[in-house]
Amino acid sequence: MASPTHLIVGLGNPGPDYFFTRHNIGFLTVDAIAEAARATAWQKKFKGEIATATLDGETFLLLKPQTFMNLSGESVGEALRFYKMDPEQVIVFHDDLDLPATKVKVKQGGGNGGHNGLKSIDAHIGASYWRARLGIGHPGDRTKVVGHVLSPFSKSDKRWLQELFDAITKHLPHLLKGEAALFMSRIAETHIEPPEPKGPKE
């Protein structure tokens, strides 16, 4: 197998209580990539779980930090140093409140938007890595943010999530080849049906 060119990180919190929550969409994404790319078995290393996969001739590593979100950088930093990679070779998939569900935005560097996982990674490897923002929508009220991100997706969300994961995996080679704009446009062209907006609770 060729040497990996990238470290793809999915952010989330470990344990069954958090498995299908919005905050864990990064974990769910790399799980989907691992399955579709027939990755190697997950190994416990670098305070996380790591696997190797290949898509369209591009070999890469998948990492799920098991430190809890606010210490994710410890795991990413250890893996990066072990594989002698640069921060520019890191792609981090994470939840984003400011994007509607089904939307994906990718950029290199920039701020952390108050995301604790990104804050930790910034502290350990700097800010020049790639961020793949996965929209989870905003509850509309700042006081409801914590409950929103830590609450599980509904059964009806599974359809658009699967469509999103399929699109990300299909077009991931573009991102690995440095074609971030093409990666985003291909996903946008998929026209994933967003979830129905939830009305106010009685």
Q: Could you tell me how far CA 187 lies from the centroid of its own chain?
A: 15
Q: What is the pLDDT of residues 67-105, one digit of tens each?
A: 999 999 999 999 999 999 999 999 999 999 999 999 999
Show which residues are catalytic.
23
The answer to whether the CB of 3 falls within 8 A of the CB of 59 is yes
The answer to whether the CB of 110 falls within 8 A of the CB of 131 is yes
Phi/psi-derived region of residue 68, left when phi > 0, alpha when psi is between -120 and 50, beta in every other case: left
Give yes or no for residue 52 having a pLDDT over 70. Answer: yes
Q: What is the pLDDT of residue 159?
A: 94
- Report the share of the chain in percent with pLDDT over 70: 97
Which strand (E) or helix (H) includes residue 165? helix 157-176
Q: What is the pLDDT of residues 109-165, one digit of tens each?
A: 998 988 999 999 999 999 999 999 999 998 888 899 989 999 999 999 999 999 999
Domains annotated for the chain, with CATH where assigned, are 6-189 (3.40.50.1470)
